[in-house]
Every structure is written in structure tokens, then in C-alpha cells.
A = this chain, B = another copy of it.
Amino acid sequence: MIFRFDFGNPFCTEAVTKEIPAKTGLEAEKEFSVYGELSLNTGFSFKMSLQKNSVIYGFGQSMGGINKKGRKYISYCTDDPVHTEGKDSLYGAHNFFIIHNPGEKHTDLGFFFDYPGRITFDIAFTETDRIIISAEEKDISCYVIKPEGKNPLEDITRQFREIIGRSYIPPRWALGYMQSRWGYRTKEDIESVYENYTKAGIPLDSICMDIDYMVEFKDFTIDGEKFPSFPDFVSKLKKDGVRLVPIIDAGVKIEPGYDVYEEGVKNNYFCKKADGKDYVAGVWPGRTHFPDFLNPEARRWFGLKYKVLTDTGVEGFWNDMNEPAMFYSDEGLSEAVEALKNTDLSKLDINGFFAFKDKVTGIANNENDYKRFYHRCIQNGKEVTVNHHKIHNLFGYNMTRAAAEGLNEINPSKRFLLFSRASYIGMHRYGGIWTGDNSSWWSHIKLELSMMPGLNMCGILYTGADIGGFGYNASRELLMRWIEFGLFTPLMRNHAALGTRDQECYRFENPEDFARLIRFRYRLIPYIYTEYMKSALKNTMYFRPLSFVYPEDMDCLEIEDQLMVGESLMVAPVLEPNSTGRNIYLPEDMIEVRLTNTEEIIQTEIPKGRHYIKFPLDELVFYIRKGHALPLAKPAMRTDLIDFENLSYIGDKEVIQKAGKEGIPPYKVYIDDGFTTEYKEI
């Protein structure tokens, strides 16, 4: 059961696609106050009591654990590449959460605060027994979801997913291993990656092209000097099943003569300042304009621009810098430089120095700049001008919507790979996300693990972190452990930043160890694809906290380092360096699967309970639930080459034997062409 309460004059974000009648006015205030203390005096404020043992799930891309209690979360899409524990905001804004009261599950509730601006969720941080939600404006749509089935966590999630629309489905090749690096500059760089992976016997489906493939970072250009005969190059690689995935940034370079710039200016497709001039932000290309993705015409125009690249044979994209990230604004930069020019060094005291320094260090992604420009949006059929700051969290979402709608118009029957950095709930219908510019830190494997179920709850299924970490330098062990988890994520990409250690698997000692792991990923793809399609088509989750699957098991509530993957598997990755084992908790008897360093698969029954298990670095260990069989394809170097028909099965022997006797497969694999939008029933 879903209830909607509208306060003030909410902006229609189109996060929710299903019509839910809203209570409004005093009636809304009265009825919503059943759930907590509501105040609309200054902006929006809402305080809810928690039980001591309440567990909070949700918030999509955010810091913290699977249980979101004890922190603040601020939804305000932010390009902050240092994901330390103290950060409140990341790239996405996912205002959905569930309050779970163990042992009293009829009291569980889901909440979605559909609000496109800055909103703060203080989840038992300031007060240990309360949730405190506050937003600058009272214009907000609140959805309350009451569970119906016997598993409230699963049911609330399913109900929420039903109202926000079906999740994006990528082409099947997007489940293959992707290699990326900010720093591939030329055709030769890409070829070298392709050749080295081939030589090392490591499966590979795609190579991402970061900003350097463009002419001066101009969207929808390809530098012909660095990439001569680009369509031929695309087609040559594709013949061997390897695809190129270029990046597209949000800002359009200001350069007379550049078609995207000229068209945008001419047609008023760019965000404007109060004085009607196009807003200027400094990003990779230098001074740029931001397309007004909130405006349907501008969105269509930008989306169709992707044809420049699809015409070369490209079938996938990643949308970046779309929080939108800003290194500076014209105004901010001028103010800083002017202030500095007037600095009298001889009179500079320490406060003067910090004022000077802060002027420069605070120049990027400054909230004042987000207040300097406007969007032309259609609301209730009418064009309205809205300050960016108020709908900040919709920018990346609508950039990716632009791309998805454009690509759909370019080829309606084709699935394109599309993933974004910034997002808001609703964007999950148009593409996936990667979890942004993480670091080569052990804690970021766990951070990824923690985020996955929250993202799935918000419909974002095609997702994964930069394996090995984007910033800083990865050790071989870190990369290996990360792959041991990452081989279960739908988006499986190794990506690293300019200036960091080379991070392609073949750069490290014994690439064969990496090859073995990634080969196994490919053997798992029939399962991963099937479970992905189930999650997308049935509004379920691909990654689940253990407590979602074993709601009666109170021990599951605190398991923060294991996840259920699809209906049959549980993973318990090693999250610490220099470890050859770890403690695990089995909520039921399970079958341990151990892929040895000689590529044997050893299956062992392990009883329900807590165990210390050996997880040597060069072995992959995971668990199959009793009553389940896991299909394994034959090894393949490309997803295109995976044989979905001839599978072997591991897992519960009884299930496998019984199915054998009945002449049916013990696990029903979802099979379609993997390329078109002709999805099958599941």
C-alpha cells in the first residue's frame, strides 16, 4: 500500500511513473503526522522516532554500511573524489529508505522523499533514537509504503520499484569485463590493452575511452589524429567481440564554429543566468555551457547528438561530470582573482591567508555557482524557469535520460550500454551508474558491497565500482580481492586515474591468476544475466542483504560484509589485506564453492552458523544455497561466445539429480538475443 502526501508545490521529477493520488494541504499534514513530527514553518522538517533495534536500509549511493543508521546523508549530487567516511554526499541522490523493526515486522515502513534539491537525512546521528529529515523548501512529495506480504523488506522494495518504473536493461555484452583508464590517448593505447589482454588469455568485452579521445574534450568529436579511421577501428575490434565505450561529459565547450556549441546557443538549449546570458562553467574543455537537460527540446537535441558516435559503430557510453561538476564558474574565478590581486602581502595575517586560500580551494562545485543559473522546465504542461540549485539532483538523471531517449530514437530496437555518474531515482529507467571516482583503498571494496543493495532498492541494477580503485595506487592483492567481489557485479570494470599505477591485470605478476578469476566471471554470465533480468522484469533485487532473504534470522541483521547475489548465491569477499581467511556466517546450510588455483571446482557442504574459512588470495570462494543449482557456461573469451544452451551445474546435488531424472534443467536460464529490446517472459 502506497500513500502519497504533497506539501507546498512539489516539482514533478518524474521519478515516479505510476499515478498515485496525493493527499494535500491540511489533510496531508494531518495524516503524514501519524509517522512523525512534521513542520513546514521553515522549509521541510520531519522527525521520526526509532526503536533501539531498528535497522535502516536504502539511500542508494551513499557512505556507511548496509544498515544506514548512525550517519547523516545529504542528497546533493557532488563530484567529490575522496570518499572518506566523513562525507555526507556522493554523486547520486536516492531519497528512499526502509525502517525495519526486527521482530515487529508489521511496523516496517518505506519512505521516499521526492525532492530534487538539497535534503538531509540524519539517521540516528544527532539523536540516537530519531530520524531527522530537513529540506530548504517545503515543496516535497512524500511517499509512505506499507508492506503487504510476509517479507516486509522485499515487499516494500517491490512496491517502490513498481511505482518508479522498470530498470534499465543493458546489452548482454555489458556484463563482460571492461577495462578502462583515464590516460588512454590514442588508438595505439587501446590496441595495446586489447593485445595484452588477448596475450594474457584474459576475457574482455569492452574498453572505455576516457576524455582524451575527443578533440579538446569537445563532446561528440573524435580526434582523427589520435584515432585515424575510427569507424574501421571500432569495427575491427568488434569483429573480435570487443567494443569501445566512449565517455560523454555534461559541459559543451564554448568555441565558435563548433556545431554543438553553435546549435545550443542558437536554440537556447543551454542553461542561462538571470540576465538571460548562457551560463559559463569551467570543466575539462575550459569554459563551457551546460545543456538544459530539464528542457525536453534541449534533451532531445543532445540525445540525438550521440548519433555522431553510433554512426561509427559505437554501442555504449558513459555520461560523466553530470552532477554537474564545475572546476569554477566565470564569476567565481573572477572574484577569486580580483580578491587576490588586491592582497597586500605585507599586511596578511593568518585569517587573511586562509581567506585567500579558501577563495581558491572553494572555487570548485561551489553551491553559490549552482544558484547562478536556470532551467526551462515543463511543469503541468507549462514552461517554468527554475533555479538550478532547487532541482540540482535532476541534472545527471536528465542527461542520461537525454542519451537514452536519443539512442532509442536512433535505433529503437537496439539496447545500448549506458551508465552515468550522477543520478536520481528515475534515472534507473535509462541507464546504470558506476559508483564514481573511488580510490584504491581496501575500505572501498566494502563500500561498494554496502552500496549495492541500496542501489538495487532504488532500481539501479546495472552498477559496480571502479575495480582496483580509481584514485591512488593499487596493489596486486587489492586488485585481486576486488575482482573476487567485482566478478559478481553486473557492471564489472577496472578503471584508474591519470597519474596512478597502471592497473590493467596484465601489469601485475602472474596475470594467469587474474585470468582464472575473469574466466570464471564469464562462466557465471548465464546466471548473472538471468538474475539481472529477473530483477529488472520482476522489480526485485540482484544484490540483497542477508536479512532480506532470511527475515526471521536476527543474526543476519548485523552481517555487513556478505551479500546474497540473485536467488542462489551468497558472497563473502575478503575485505582486508594480508588475509588468507575470514569469518563468515551461513544463515542456512550451504554449499561452499572453491575455485582452486588449478581451476578445479571443489564443493563442500557447510552447516548453518559461524565459521572461519580459508580464502587464499588465489582461490575464489562463494556459497550456493541448498535447493539451488548454479549454471556454469563453458569458458569463453567474449560474452558473444558464451554458449547459453550447453551448461553444467554445480550446487545442490539433489536438485541437480532430480532435474536430471526429469529431463529439465535444474536452473532456468533466461535466454534472448542479448542485443534487442525483445525481452522474453521470465
Instruction: Give the total of A residues in contact with B, Cβ under 8 Å.
Output: 64
Whole-angstrom distance from the CB of A630 to the nearest CB of chain B?
27
Q: Chain B residue with minimal CB distance to A577?
A: B70
Q: Which residues of B contact A343 (CB under 8 A)?
A: 337
Q: Chain B residue with minimal CB distance to A67?
A: B578
**Do residues A558 and B579 form an inter-chain contact, with CB atoms below 8 A?**
yes
Contact with B along A333-363 (1 / 0, CB 8 A): 1100100110101001110011011001101
A229 close to B (CB within 8 Å): no
A509 close to B (CB within 8 Å): yes
Binds B, one of A179-187, A233-241, A282-290, A402-410: A282-290
**Do residues A578 and B65 form an inter-chain contact, with CB atoms below 8 A?**
yes
Q: Out of B334, B443, B476, which one reaches A443, CB within 8 Å?
A: B443
**Do residues A327 and B350 form an inter-chain contact, with CB atoms below 8 A?**
yes
Q: Out of B65, B353, B476, which one reaches A327, CB within 8 Å?
A: B353
Binds B, one of A80-88, A141-149, A202-210, A369-377: A80-88
Within 8 A of B (CB), among A497-514: 509
Q: Which residues of B contact A577 (CB under 8 A)?
A: 64-65, 67, 69-71
Q: Which residues of B contact A67 (CB under 8 A)?
A: 577-578
**Do residues B578 and A86 form an inter-chain contact, with CB atoms below 8 A?**
no
Complex: how many Å from CA A125 to CA B354? 37
Q: Which residues of B contact A86 (CB under 8 A)?
A: 439-441, 471-473
Copies of the polypeptide in the assembly: 2
Q: Out of B85, B350, B558, which one reaches A282, CB within 8 Å?
A: B350
Q: Chain B residue with minimal CB distance to A469?
A: B86
A560 close to B (CB within 8 Å): yes
**Do residues A337 and B333 form an inter-chain contact, with CB atoms below 8 A?**
no
Complex: how many Å from CA A354 to CA B498? 15
A576 close to B (CB within 8 Å): yes
Within 8 A of B (CB), among A157-212: none
**Do residues B65 and A443 form an inter-chain contact, with CB atoms below 8 A?**
no
Q: Which residues of B contact A583 (CB under 8 A)?
A: 583, 610, 612
Q: Chain B residue with minimal CB distance to A327?
A: B353
Q: Chain B residue with minimal CB distance to A330?
A: B345
Whole-angstrom distance from the CB of A72 to the nearest CB of chain B?
8
Q: Which residues of B contact A588 (CB under 8 A)?
A: none
Within 8 A of B (CB), among A609-624: 610, 612
Complex: how many Å from CA A653 to CA B249? 70
Complex: how many Å from CA A327 to CA B72? 31
**Do residues B350 and A285 form an inter-chain contact, with CB atoms below 8 A?**
yes
Whole-angstrom distance from the CB of A340 to the nearest CB of chain B?
5
Q: Chain B residue with minimal CB distance to A444?
A: B85
Complex: how many Å from CA A327 to CA B351? 11
Q: Out of B356, B472, B610, which one reaches A612, CB within 8 Å?
A: B610
**Do residues A85 and B128 form an inter-chain contact, with CB atoms below 8 A?**
no
A59 close to B (CB within 8 Å): no
A581 close to B (CB within 8 Å): yes
Complex: how many Å from CA A86 to CA B471? 9
A279 close to B (CB within 8 Å): no
Q: Which residues of B contact A334 (CB under 8 A)?
A: 345
Complex: how many Å from CA A580 to CA B353? 47
Q: Which residues of B contact A363 (CB under 8 A)?
A: 357
Whole-angstrom distance from the CB of A269 to the nearest CB of chain B?
23
Whole-angstrom distance from the CB of A205 to the nearest CB of chain B?
28
Q: Out of B64, B84, B353, which one reaches A439, CB within 8 Å?
A: B84
Complex: how many Å from CA A441 to CA B441? 15
Q: Chain B residue with minimal CB distance to A52?
A: B617
Q: Chain B residue with minimal CB distance to A346?
A: B287
**Do residues A85 and B357 form an inter-chain contact, with CB atoms below 8 A?**
no
Within 8 A of B (CB), among A35-68: 55, 64-65, 67
A475 close to B (CB within 8 Å): yes
A542 close to B (CB within 8 Å): no
**Do residues A350 and B284 form an inter-chain contact, with CB atoms below 8 A?**
yes
A136 close to B (CB within 8 Å): no
Q: Chain B residue with minimal CB distance to A66?
A: B578
Within 8 A of B (CB), among A303-352: 327-328, 333-334, 337, 340-341, 343, 345, 348-350
List 5 interface pairs A-B (beta carbons < 8 Å), by A numbering: A86-B471, A128-B477, A286-B348, A327-B350, A558-B581
